[in-house]
Each structure stands twice: as C-alpha cells, then as structure tokens.
Structure 1
Amino acid sequence: MVEKADVGFVDGKPCKRCKESPAIQEIRTDAVCGSCYCSFIQVKAAKRLEVLTRESRASGATKRGKADYTVGLSFGPSSAATVQLLDVFEGRRAEKNQRPPTTKYTPITTKIHVVHVDTNLQAAGAAPPPSDLLQRWAKRYPRFAFRSVPLTAAIGLSSIDWTALPAFKQGCPPEEQLRHLFDNLPSATSAADLTRLFVRHILMAEAVREECCALLLGNSTTSLAALTLSETAKGRAFSLPWLINDGAHSIADYSHGSTDAEGAGSHTMLVYFLVRELYRKELTTYTELAGMDTSLIIDDASAANPVISHKYQTIDDVMTRYFREVEENFPSVVANVVRTTAKLSRDEPSERCGLCGVAIDATGNERWAGEMGDITDGDVSAQRSSKLCHGCQRSVNG
C-alpha cells in the first residue's frame, strides 16, 4: 500500500536509508522512500510506547498480565495516526504471541478503548444522531473497542469541583445547561478552553471506568507547542509540566467535598502523548503513505484558515495557525518549545485547581490578579475563585 501513494519523487534520488527504492518524501533532512518514512514514524512512536510500558510496570498500573489503554480520538490527523500506529503495534504483538514461546516470558494482554468526545451540543429534546464516522472507524480497526461520549458526560464528574463554577440553569436538559454555561462565558477563548478541559476530564473518567493503565492522547509536537504558548497566554504557565509532559496524573474526587489535594486525590492515571516527537505534517504524510482512508480523517479547517471576525477567534486558533506556519520552515523552533517545557519538573501539588485539576500557584495567582487589576466582587465570587488557578479564573469570570 505504501508504493501506491502518489506523493511525488524527490529529484529522482534513491532512498538515503535503504538505498534501493526511489525517494518520494523528505523526513527531517533525509530523502526516503515510503517504507522507510513509515518505519521512521513507527519507530518514534514505538519508543514512546516502550517508555510507557516500563513506567506502567514500575508503578504497578499493569496488573495481572493486563495492560489496557484508553485513546482519545478527535478524527484529526494526529489522533488518527495514533490509532493507526497502535493497530500496527497490536498486529505485530499478536503475531509474536502466536509463535511457540521460547522463554518463560508471559505476554501481556492488551485491550485498547478508543473514545471520541462529541462536542456538538444537540438541540434540547433531540436524540443525537448515530456516529456513522465512528462506525466506519470501528469497522476499519476491529481490534479496538470504539465509543462515543457526549460532552454532557462532564456534568456531574467528581473530578471537577462544580462549586467553583457558575451554577447550572435548573430544570433543563444537560445540553441546554452546558449551552447556557458557555453562552455566559466572557469570550470565545473561554468557551474553547472549558470545552478542552471537559474533554480531558471525560477521557480520564473513561480510562478510570475501563480500569486502564494509561490514557494516550494524540498531540503532536506542533499541537503541544501551540498548547504551551496558549496556556501561558491564559495564565497557566505554572501548570505546564502537568498539562504538556508525560507522566502520572492525580484525579481529584470532590464528591465528598474535599478541596485539598490530599483529600481530593483518589486515582492516579498515566497520561502519555504517543506522537509527541513527531510533527503534524509528518503524521499527515504518514496517514497517506500508510494507506489510511482519508475520508476517516477530519482536518480542522478553522485553525488553518483566518477567521474574518476576531470576536470568534480564540487564543488556541491563533497559536495553532502560527505553529503550523512555523513548522513548515523552522521545525526546530517548534521542537525546542516542547523540549524546553519537558525539562520543567513537577511535584505533587498541595492544592489543585478545581477545574483544570493541576497545581495552583497561590503566590502567582495573587501577583497575576494585582497586575491585571482584578478585584473580586462579593464573598461568593471570592470563595469560588479561590478554588481555581488564575487561568481558569479568567476563563470563567473574565
């Protein structure tokens, strides 16, 4: 299937790696054939999976020969490539397990749950239409279990401190409650921010529900760089090690009214970005060379094209478009942003934000509020804001 991809030759040169097939693409600085291109992508992802396997065993997340994973699927090229790569790895693992064992090693059984969070809020009283696209994904990758979860599933999750957020509109369906919440947020950036945080909470909850040892997210180097700068612009720079880096994440439980980290933390989940060392354009090319059905992939046109009205333009859109442009000519700049963030250390927080779930920098919050001229209005707002980091305070209260 690789040889059928019509992506053009690179000056008629032979592949720099295998020296046999003609080069049809460039990977970093090498002109390579389709097979070597796919091998490069697969090796990069496989190394991240090996690190995850070692950490999950060391932390005890892998139990009784079972290593289940939850994978987030947005239908974008990066998350689509993540699912395809896992399918390749699972195929190889299944082939090895069928061979007669030559050692005492017992293969770990793996089940992968692919979860898509539907962020479209349907009209009140209307039944959500069946996801034809997700059904096609399930048919294409029968090894995996696919599931669609509505954004309204975030309502009532114990990992969110709902007392820190504005009260929901009572007596309404969940869809209308969320729409009312989003309509009363101060900006389009705030709505996009809360949507992303709700999606992350839902994916974590699904991973816990399925008793998985890790949550795999399909963020590329490009999207992680954009996320780094957008979170910094929103006032969450202090929380970057928890939002961008791989590792264990504590999941709070506010069902019993605990607000401190010690009382609220009840679960720990490994969160890994399997394709964090690959650029978005590389993953897009990989999906073509690997023979994926491109009709299964939905590209985010809103981030690629300029928005006419700045009223509906978000910080995330600006950063995403910027790094996609920088990626074309200066990929090392994009990689340096992510690598620098990866060097930041993180400790278990003594106090965590009730919305994004990461550590609160109390001193930084006060300094930010003073420089921005924020004045808390009323005791209720003060009590509510004290449970949120500065970034979430700005998203919720403006």
Structure 2
Amino acid sequence: MAQAQTRLACQASAAQDYSRIEGSFVITFSRENVYRAQAKSRPKMTANPCVDCREREATLTIRNRRLCSVCFTSYVHSKILKRMGSYGLKNLPGEQKRRLFLPLSGGLSSLVLLQVLDFQLQKQIANRNKTTYDIVVARVVLPDELDSRSIKSDYEALAGRFATQTFLPLLDLHEVLRLDHQVERDLKELGIVRHDGEADQNFFLRIMHCSTSATAASDVQSILLKRLLVAVARDQGCENVLWGHSDTRLAALALADVAKGRGGSVSSSIADGQTLQGVDFNYPLRDLFKAELQTYARASSEPILETTVEQDIPVGQPTNIRSTAIDSLLNTYITSQGEKYPSIMANVVRTASKLEARRPADNATACPVCLMPVMGTQGLLNRNSGLCYGCERMRQDMVP
C-alpha cells in the first residue's frame, strides 16, 4: 500500500514538472512570435540614412549633409518661405490681400520661386480657404530671344499649370517707352533723343544700337528691363517685386556692378527692402545656390521644372572676351566657381549687402537713368551731371 502511494506521488510530481516545462515552452514560444512580429513591423535600418529624418535613404549631399529627396525639398521650401515671412497671416493688413509681382526670366530660378509660392498658396486655401497675397506674373521677351513662338507656347503652358495666379500678356522690351512715362525724358541724360514722328519700336532699336561696347549695350538693356518691370508692377498695384535671383546670381550681379563702376549702389541693388522706384524689392532665393535649385528641379515631381533644368545648359567660356559684356563674363565665372566654392560666393553677397546702411529716403537722390541712389558728388566723373558714376561711364561708350 505504501509503495503504491509513493508511486502515485511520484507520478503526480512528474506530471506537475512536465506541465511547468510545457507552460514555460509555450510562453517562450509565444514571446518569440511577438519578437518576430515586432521585428517585421519595425522599419529596416538603412545603410546611409538621411541626417534629418533618419528613416529614408540619403541620396543627396547638400552643404556637406546627406539628405533624402523629401527632406531636401522641405529644406528648399523653408529657405524660400522664411524670406516670405513678412507676407504671412500675422502681417496681413485687415482683410486686404497684398499683390506681389513676380517676373519670369525664362530660366530655372524664377520658375522654382513661382512653384514654391504657388504650393504655399494652395496649402493656405486648403487650410483656411483664403490666401495672404496674390501673385502677378509677367514675362518680357528680350531682343536676342528670337524663338518667340516657343516662348509663347511655354508661357501659356505655365499659365495653365499655375491657373490660380494672374498671368499678364507677354511683353516686348520696347514697351518700356509706353509704360514708363519718364524714361524718354531720362534718356536725354545719355544724349538719346527721339526723332519727330519716330515710332516706339524704331526708337528702341536705335537706343539698343548706339552703344559702342558689349558692356554698355548689356547695361542699357538691363536698365530698361528693370524700369519696364517696375512700371508694370506699379501699374498692377503691386507693392513688391519678387526677383528670382539665387545667391549665385546675386554674387555675379554684385561683382559686375563693381567692375562697371556701380559699386556705390551695389548694396541697394541686391538687398531686400525699400527702393527709390516706388516698390520694394525682395529676393526670396538669396539663401540658395543655383546648383541647389538645379538639384531641386531634378528631384521634384514637377514636369515643368524637370524640362527647364534640362534646357539650362551651362554657358562655356567665350572665345572673344573683348566682345563679351562684363555681366556675361562674371556670370559664367561665378556659376562655374560657385559649384566649387559655394561659401565664398555666399560671403560676396553678405558682404555687399552690408556695405552701407540701406535707407535711400534719408539723403539719397536717384540717378535719372538707372534710378539707383547717388550719395553726394564724391567720385562722380562729372559733378555737374545728375548721373551716377556707372551711368556716366556708360554714356562715354555710347554714340547717339
């Protein structure tokens, strides 16, 4: 009897031990399943993660930082929209929206600016059902742009793509004589006078052919272009002109102005804020290099940007430097060197913007031709003339 009881006790103990072992195995097996499921749901670690999101694969190197295309797009948008902060909802004067003028050049930079601002406005409509500003877009056809049909077709495609923005009809540069009511009077300072009964287009062609150097001809065209765009902006009731100049472009403009004798007004020509022309200037792309805008266009899903960047072929070194304008020479040089030394180009713009306090309303008068500030008479070629030093030098290279 005692042996039977002992045998039963041993069997019961063995059964309990087996049950504990089996339960432990089941628990362990269940935990392993949970761990496997968690491992499958957890995102895989990439070998080269983006330094911002740490999730996606880094495919771009931007200013020594490895970024994915999504974070790089956010980077470009933030750089531009930061410069547009003064046109936000907090600074909106009552219910009245601002009108901002955005001239397109046919290149990539101004097109990127339009695309980013349009994206912001579409988000404002989706979130608040209203926008803080309206964009008025214009495009001027320059005399050396011969393929007018292609320009018109591309411009109409842009108007269809950004249909919520206001697109003005294409403008010819000679229309500055019609829209800027002071330009004909101011050209007399250069010795250029309209003949009796001379049509606008004929007068304009004579203006463009009276320069004896490529630099003077380029200077005259740039001045007339800016005056035309400012006149259109005023006519449309716009309070600000949004120039699509990248940091690379601003550096080239600053150095070209210095080389042409316009160094005294270089800070006024590339800085944000007030001008003597009746509208404010703003450069929202000033914190981005041209190479970065090209990368943005290739990484975007915007077909118009992709097409434009493929057509944006770098201009090679000119074969005849003497017949090339200073603006073109420096633009080619800065564009090529900016890819190698971007920080140096950024320093050019920052330094030029700080050369003087930019408050033209204090004691500055405007040059009657370029409309840039003239501070006193020091350094002028002709103190009896109202022209700035740069325009006085330009006049010496002109035969009306």
- Flag the 1:158–1:242 CA change in 2: closer, same or farther, 3 A: farther
**Residue of 69, 73, 76 corresponding to 2:107:** 76
1:365 Cα shift?
A: 3.4
Matches within 5 A, 1:66-215: 66-98=97-129, 109-120=132-143, 131-147=152-168, 148-156=170-178, 157-160=180-183, 161-165=186-190, 166-215=192-241
Partner of residue 46, structure 1:
81
Which residue of structure 2 lines up, in the alignment, with residue 324 of structure 1?
335
**Shift of the alpha carbon at 1:63?**
6.7
Shift of 1:96: 1.4
Larger Rg: 2
- Tell me how far apart the structure 2 counterparts of residues 55 and 199 of structure 1 sit (CA, whole Å): 34
**Residues 166-200 of structure 1: per-residue CA shift (max 9 Å, x gap):** 11355443233222112111211111111111111
Note the C-alpha offset of 1:354: 0.7
TM-score (norm 2): 0.78
Instruction: Kindly state the Cα deviation for residue 350 of structure 1 after the two structures are TM-superposed.
Output: 3.5
Q: Secondary structure at the match of 2:52?
A: coil
Query: What amino acid sits opposite 2:187 in the alignment?
Result: W
Name the counterpart of 1:233. 259
Give the match for residue 58 of structure 2: 23
| Aligned amino acid, residue 373 of structure 2 | A
The DSSP-based 3-state class of the residue aligned with 2:118 is helix
Question: Partners of 2:150 and 2:59 in 1: how far apart?
Answer: 41
Count of residues in Structure 1 that have an aligned counterpart in Structure 2: 341
Q: Please give the alpha-carbon distance, in whole angstroms, between the structure 2 residues aligned to 1:330 and 1:190.
A: 30
Partner of 1:5: none
What are the residue-to-residue correspondences of 1:3-14 with 2, within 5 Å? 13-14=48-49
Question: Using the alignment, how far apart are the partners of 2:89 and 2:266 within structure 1?
Answer: 24
Partner AA of 1:316 in structure 2: D
* More moved, 11-20 vs 282-291: 11-20
> What residue is the counterpart of 2:365 in the other structure?
351
Asked if the contact 1:189/1:313 (under 8 Å) is kept, the reply is yes
Give the Å deviation of 1:134.
Answer: 0.5
Deviations 1:26-85 (A, max 9, x none): 11121111110110000000100003559976xxxx575211111010021111111111
Instruction: Name the counterpart of 1:396.
Output: 395
Q: Determine the C-alpha separation between the residues in 2 that align with 1:85 and 1:171.
A: 46
C-alpha separation in 1, matches of 2:263 and 2:292: 28
Gaps of 5+ in 2: 1-45
Q: 3-state SS of the aligned residue for 1:26?
A: strand
* SS of equivalent to 1:114: strand
* 1:37 correspondence with 2:72: yes
The alpha-carbon distance between structure 1 residues 365 and 63, as it changes in their structure 2 partners (threshold 3 A), is: farther
Which deviates further from its counterpart, 337-346 or 155-164?
Answer: 155-164
Residue 133 of structure 1: how far off its partner (Å): 1.1
| Cα separation, 1, equivalents of 2:311 and 2:51 | 31
Pick closer, same or farther for the CA change 1:330–1:45 going to 2, 3 Å.
same
Tell me what 1:245 maps to.
271
**C-alpha contact (below 8 Å) 1:352/1:358 kept by paired residues:** yes
Task: Provide the residue aligned with 2:19 in structure 1.
Answer: none
CA contact (8 A) 1:67 1:111 kept: yes
Structure 1 pair 287–178 and aligned structure 2 pair: CA distance change class (3 A): same
Q: CA deviation at 1:89?
A: 0.9
Equivalent residue in structure 1 for 2:326, among 315, 320, 325: 315
Residues 224 and 63 (structure 1), Cα distance of their counterparts in 2 relative to 1, 3 Å cut: farther
Say what the alpha-carbon RMSD is for the aligned residues: 2.6
8 Å CA contact 1:75–1:298 kept in 2: the answer is no
Corresponding position of 1:102: none
Taking only the aligned residue pairs, the percentage that are identical comes to: 26
Paired AA for residue 28 in structure 1: R
Q: Is the 8 A contact 2:276 2:373 kept in 1?
A: no
Contiguous gaps of at least 5 residues in structure 1: 1-10, 99-106, 252-267, 370-375, 377-381
Q: Distance in 2 between matches of 1:44 and 1:79?
A: 15
Mapped contact 2:101–2:241 kept (Cα < 8 A): yes
Query: Is 1:334 aligned with 2:364?
Result: no
Q: Is the 8 A contact 1:48 1:274 kept in 2?
A: yes
Q: Secondary structure at the match of 1:248?
A: coil
**CA-CA distance at 1:333 after TM superposition:** 0.2
Aligned equivalents of 1:43 and 1:226: distance in 2?
Answer: 24
Q: Which amino acid aligns with 1:153?
A: E
- In 2, Cα distance between the equivalents of 1:173 and 1:122? 21
Q: CA deviation at 1:300?
A: 5.9
The verdict on how the C-alpha distance between 1:226 and 1:311 changes in structure 2, with shifts beyond 3 A counting, is: same
Is the Cα–Cα contact under 8 Å of residues 248 and 335 in structure 2 kept in the other structure? yes
Q: Please give the secondary structure, in 2, of the residue aligned with 1:357.
A: coil
The secondary structure found in structure 2 opposite 1:68 is strand
8 Å contact from structure 1 (residues 65, 108) kept in 2: no
Which residue of structure 2 aligns with residue 372 of structure 1?
none
Contact 1:73 1:115 in 2 (8 A): yes
Distance 1:336 1:357 in 2: 26
C-alpha distance in 1 between matches for 2:311 and 2:224: 21
Q: TM-score, normalised by structure 1?
A: 0.79
